[in-house]
Amino acid sequence: MRFPGIAALPVLVFLVLALIYPLTCILALGLREGLWAALADPYYLARLGWSLVYGLGSSLLCSILALPLAYAFRYRFPGRDFLLAFSTVPFVLPTLVVAMGFLGLVGPRGSLGLNLYGTPWILFWASLLYNLGLVLRPLVVLLPALQTPLVAARTLGASPLRAYLRVGVPLLGPAVLSGGSLVFLYSFTSFGVPLLLGGPAWATLEVATYEALAQRLAFPEATALVLMQLGVTLLVLTGYLRLQAHLALGMGGYGTPLPLAPKAAWGLALGVWLLFALIYSPLWNLLLRAFERPVAWVSVWQSPGFTPGSLALLNTLAFAGLALLWVVPLGTLYAYAVWRGPPWLDGLGLLPILVSPVAIGLGYLLAYPGLRGSLVILVAAYALLSYPLLVRVLLPALRALPSGVIEAARLLGASPWRRWWRVEWPLVRPAAQTGVALALAAILGEFGATLILQRPEWATLSLAIYERLGRPGALPFYEAVVLAVVLMGLCGVLLWGLERLGQNRRP
């Protein structure tokens, strides 16, 4: 067996045990008992309809806002690079942190005195905060490749804005559709934000699945809802992969921003900064609310009737460390196998993106009843849901390796293993560390699978926040805010540490 095949084998075995077999159990139970009943239930059809509206609306909202912002980012203005980098930061924040930010700003106890809880508007706002960077960043990457057609349009008499709208936007169409597809997938399968902010009237299919399982132990209904969700996400993911292949033909890369006169640059900066301040205001408000009641910073660690914050913090770090022991070898081996192996491996490795965390937890309960209450299935769920993030970052770096260097190492007699360790790995290590950082952020904030597979003594920071939000009173709310800030800070510190490590070891 060639080296790529050997590299892929452990991951394929893991996918069969951790994904394919649990999904087969869901498929068997759903088709046998639950699917037709779910399709005949008006409530579940309404959840499917709202999930589609939420996914499509979120995709449309992010795309409409990203196009003019991308035009603004063509130019150099104060704070441009910071804002562009910050646009993707919320994507790696735990769901509970973002939800707490919105509750603290526009919830029942919100600072603005405006209660948007239980309305669709708060959900669309949260989706915009989370996913805007997914559409904006690819557009900014592609803008240098549009310089020639835009200049041609200008020479024909079009103004800069008209050239962008009539020439640039159509050429950016595949990128907008690609990013919009990702936004749809993440919004359609959303769990934590609709559960905490939307209320029963705006529950998604994912929330309905959890309710069927947790409140009524209705396994057939829950599996049927998972099948409905899988059918939609499979269609969208297929379209996304085709768009990605088309998009890859025109990728340009970052170029130098166009200069502006100082007055115009400051005016543009003011407009973009104000827009970003509005979109991301729940995060800033969360930090302010955390210090409104200082006693919460003391009581949260040993508060009676709740999971102590100290135990939740230790569990979060311990489970993240255990999961990384799986994620790093799985992601690295699979990225190498996709790089050197057949194209179908890439599509197979994306399967975990199709499946929601709640569905993963449900599948494990069905497939491995003897392991219920075992830490193995919880860590396996974390690894399954996070290793694709490492693969997606590492794979482009592998594909960008200079072929001449690798061929020279091969001609000098280096074996595939030695070539990987001495030549290829040092070149892609910075990308690998970025991928590990993204996977770590996903593990730290994981909520859906943890909620399904939990045991009381396993409570993580996310579960401790959710536990306090379910109790009346001001102090539990402020303790939840404190834990959300702790979780956000933990993600920031660990991500910063990995980034610094990558800079120090960069060849």
List, for residues 50-77, the tens digit of each pLDDT value: 889 998 999 999 988 988 888 888 788 8
**Of residues 273, 327, 334, the one with CA closest to residue 83:** 273
Rounded CA-CA distance 449/197 in Å is 19
Q: Provide the residue ranges of all domains of the chain, joining segments of one domain with +.
A: 1-22+290-507, 41-280
List, for residues 106-134, the tens digit of each pLDDT value: 888 777 888 888 889 999 999 999 888 87
The encoded tokens of residue 323 equal 């999961």
**Of residues 278, 303, 300, 276, the one with CA closest to residue 485:** 300
Per-residue three-class SS string for 170-222: HHCHHHHHHHHHHHHHHHHCCCHHHHHHHCHHHCCHHHHHHHHHHHHCCHHHH
Mean pLDDT in residue range 464-484? 82
pLDDT range class, residue 200, cuts 50, 70, 90: confident
Mean pLDDT in residue range 452-466? 82
Residue 75: what are its φ and ψ, rounded to 5°?
-105, 155
Least confident of 174-178, 248-252, 291-295: 248-252
pLDDT range class, residue 254, cuts 50, 70, 90: very low
pLDDT range class, residue 409, cuts 50, 70, 90: low
The encoded tokens of residue 407 equal 């061929």
Question: What's at 383, amino acid-wise?
Answer: A
CA 355 to chain centre: 13
Rounded CA-CA distance 177/480 in Å is 37
CA 183 to chain centre: 9
Tell me the average pLDDT of the chain: 77
> What letter would DSSP give residue 257?
P
Superfamily of the domain at 1-22+290-507: MetI-like (1.10.3720.10)
Least confident of 135-139, 158-162, 477-481: 158-162
According to the model, what pLDDT value does residue 506 have? Answer: 45
* CATH topology match: 1-22+290-507 vs 41-280: yes
According to the model, what pLDDT value does residue 121 have? Answer: 92
Mean pLDDT in residue range 89-100? 76
Residue 296 has pLDDT above 90, yes or no: no
Contacts of 269 (CB under 8 A, 6+ apart): 77, 78, 79, 80
Rounded CA-CA distance 502/436 in Å is 11
* CATH topology for the 41-280 domain: MetI-like fold (1.10.3720)
Task: Let me know: does 268 contact 72? Beta carbons within 8 Å.
Answer: yes
pLDDT range class, residue 445, cuts 50, 70, 90: confident
Task: Let me know: does 390 contact 328? Beta carbons within 8 Å.
Answer: yes
Q: Which residue has the higher pLDDT, 332 or 249?
A: 332
Cut 0.75: pTM above it: no
Rounded CA-CA distance 255/29 in Å is 53
Residue whose token pair is 């979109």: 279
